[in-house]
Amino acid sequence: MIQVPRGTADVLPGEIELWQYVEDKARDICRRYNYLEIRTPIFEHTELFQRGVGETTDIVEREMYTFTDRGDRSLTLRPEGTASTVRSYVENKMYGAPQQPTKLFYIGPMFRYERPQAGRMRQFTQFGIEAIGSHDPAIDAEAIALAMRFYEELGLKNLHVELNTLGDMESRQAYREALINHFTPHIGEFCTDCQSRLARNPLRILDCKKDARKEQMATAPVLLDYLNESSRTYFERVKKHLNDLRIMYEVNPRLVRGLDYYTHTAFEIMERGIGAVSTICGGGRYNGLVEQIGGQDMPGIGFAMSIERVLLALKTQGVELPIEQSLDCFLVSMGEEADAKAFTLMDTLRSHGLSADKDYLGRKMKAQLKSADRLQAKAVIIVGEDELARNVAVMKNMTTGKQQEVALDAIVESVKQITEDGR
Ligand code: ATP
Ligand code: MG
């Protein structure tokens, strides 16, 4: 028996409706905030992620699905969406469009070689947004507000926004030195990854999962103390906009994001009930990235969340999404001539926008009616040989139980009446 690869899953009918609902909600929210959808390839040149995510990140160091294709190119299944979106922004010269900033969103599969557990998959689907080309702190607040409105409208409660700032490049540089001074005397006690991070990217030490409980982690200097004036002001303005929108947040000075290109605002949204993996959304500002990928110096801000973790949070909180699953009409028939008539009537109903189905297994009347029940058909049309001779059929309204004869050429109208009554 061949099974799905570890860390991947089939989404079957019955569950897919939840995905569709959540994805439709994401698209609707993005429409209201004026973010436009972009679809980029599932694989990219490996170099894009090395440059755009950063050589010292977990993703690039050990999580990428990288392969050589038959033309000897190194390609990688995308582990996240920001690098690809920014590549496309630069490649398609979106900075030249009259309307700026460029506001984009994406929904699609991402791939990371991880240790699978609840909410952590090797293939997962991310919904993310990116706003490129504005330094306005209001757009940082807009990104957080968009995510929170999305969760609110799905019915999620008690989410926590954790907020921090990484400052601008100058502040980060000063902080970097402070971290090196702090960790150097003890670095021998840290994992080998942290040892190599010390010189390359000491900020990443703070994000280490292995050494998280070391004393030096708790006593490490915090970035807030190393912010220069303009970074401090920027952070204050982001917070003011969040206050204006009445979005609650907690400043967590230890919050660093895994990716190298973040500057200023960093945030995570958590649902503390879903277990070890409680972050459902992560995002922040990446003023260094566009240049890093070969574009001009352009600021950007975005977030990403996986649909898997959103569904996990909904399940944990016991939220029932309002999903309606029903069929407008099921056609029941017995005998060759009646079957043929039911088949063409069904086609007519479908051509008028109604959903319709019939039996294809030659089952008895009773079993056919059972199918109609199972499919939650709103109307059932029974085509019998006797009625056929008179150009009528029996129609049953499954909500009221009422049954009546209807003329065959009035069937579309009659079924529509029933489905519209049911709304
Ligand atoms: P974590 O600390 O949980 O590994 P991360 O820092 O790697 O998260 P990001 O790269 O910021 O996560 O991705 C943003 C979001 O994508 C996460 O908040 C989460 O919702 C989702 N996500 C990341 N990795 C996975 C995964 N392996 N499976 C499912 N969802 C994921
Ligand atoms: Mg991760």
Average of per-residue pLDDT across 196-217? 87
State which of 113, 270, 309 you would mutate to test the pocket of ligand 1, scoring each by most atoms of that ligand within 8 A of its C-beta: 309
Question: What's the CATH code of the domain at 59?
Answer: 3.30.930.10
Residue 268 and residue 143: Cα distance in Å, rounded?
A: 12
Res 92 pLDDT > 90:
yes
Asked, for residue 177, whether it belongs to a domain, the answer is: no
Q: Which residues line ligand 1 (CB under 6 A)?
A: 80, 112, 114, 119-121, 124, 126, 258, 277, 279-282, 304-306, 308-309
CA dist., res. 73 & res. 130, Å (int): 28
Residue nearest to atom 6 of ligand 1 (CA): 258
Tens digits of residue pLDDT in 146-204 = 999 999 999 999 999 999 999 998 998 899 899 999 999 999 999 998 998 888 888 88
Render pLDDT for 294-304 as a digit per residue (tens, 0 to 9): 999 999 999 99
Q: In angstroms, rounded to a whole number, what is the distance separating the alpha carbons of residues 17 and 11?
A: 9
| pLDDT number for residue 199 | 86
Confidence of residue 8 (pLDDT cuts 50, 70, 90): very high
Instruction: Report the nearest-CA residue for atom 30 of ligand 1.
Output: 306
Same domain? For 155 and 298 the reply is yes
Whether residue 303 is found in the same domain as residue 376: no
Looking at the structure, do residues 92 and 240 belong to the same domain, yes or no? yes
Q: Which residue owns the Cα nearest ligand 1 atom 12?
A: 282
Measured over the CA atoms of residue 107, residue 109, residue 115 and residue 118, the dihedral's sign is: positive
Which CATH number is 377's domain given? 3.40.50.800
Choose one of 126, 265, 281 to mutate for the ligand 1 pocket test, by most ligand atoms within 8 angstroms of C-beta: 126
| Last-in-domain residue among 293, 316, 339 | 316
Domain boundary among 284, 316, 348: 316
* 342 belongs to a structural domain: yes
HSE (side-chain half, CA atoms, 13 Å) at 130: 28
Atom of ligand 1 nearest to the CA of 59: 7
Kindly give the number of the ligand 1 atom that is closest to the alpha carbon of 112: 27
Whether 243 and 137 map to the same domain: the answer is: yes
Q: Are residues 75 and 21 in the same domain?
A: yes
Helix (H, G, I), strand (E, B) or coil at 351: helix
Whether residue 409 is found in the same domain as residue 283:
no
What spacing in Å lies between the alpha carbon of 13 and ligand 2's midpoint?
29
Looking at the structure, do residues 302 and 338 belong to the same domain, yes or no?
no
Which atom of ligand 1 is least distant from the CA of 80? 10
pLDDT value of position 203: 86
Distance CA 395, CA 393 (A): 6
Residue 24 lies in a domain: yes
CB–CB of 299/285 below 8 Å?
A: yes
Out of 306, 307, 308, mutate this one to test ligand 1's pocket (max ligand atoms within 8 Å of CB): namely 306
DSSP state of 120: B
- Give a yes or no: residue 285 inside a domain: yes
The range of the structural domain enclosing residue 365 comes to 329-421
- pLDDT tens per residue across span 256-279: 876 667 899 999 999 987 777 789
Ligand 2 geometric centre to CA of 276 (Å): 12
306 and 354 fall within a common domain: no
- 153 neighbors 239 (Cβ within 8 angstroms): no
Number of folded domains that form the chain = 2
Domain end residue (candidates: 286, 316, 346): 316
H-assigned helices in 117-201: 137-154, 169-183, 192-200
Over the chain, what is the mean pLDDT? 94
Determine how β-strand 392-397 pairs with β-strand 377-383: antiparallel
Residue 324 lies in a domain: no
Q: Identify the residue whose C-alpha is closest to ligand 1 atom 5.
A: 258
State whether 27 and 157 are in the same domain: yes
61 token code pair: 């160091």
Q: Do 106 and 252 sit in the same domain of this protein?
A: yes
Ligand 1 atom 9: residue of nearest CA: 282
Q: Is residue 96 part of a domain?
A: yes
Contacts of 71 (CB under 8 A, 6+ apart): none
Look at residue 182 and tell me if it is in a domain: no
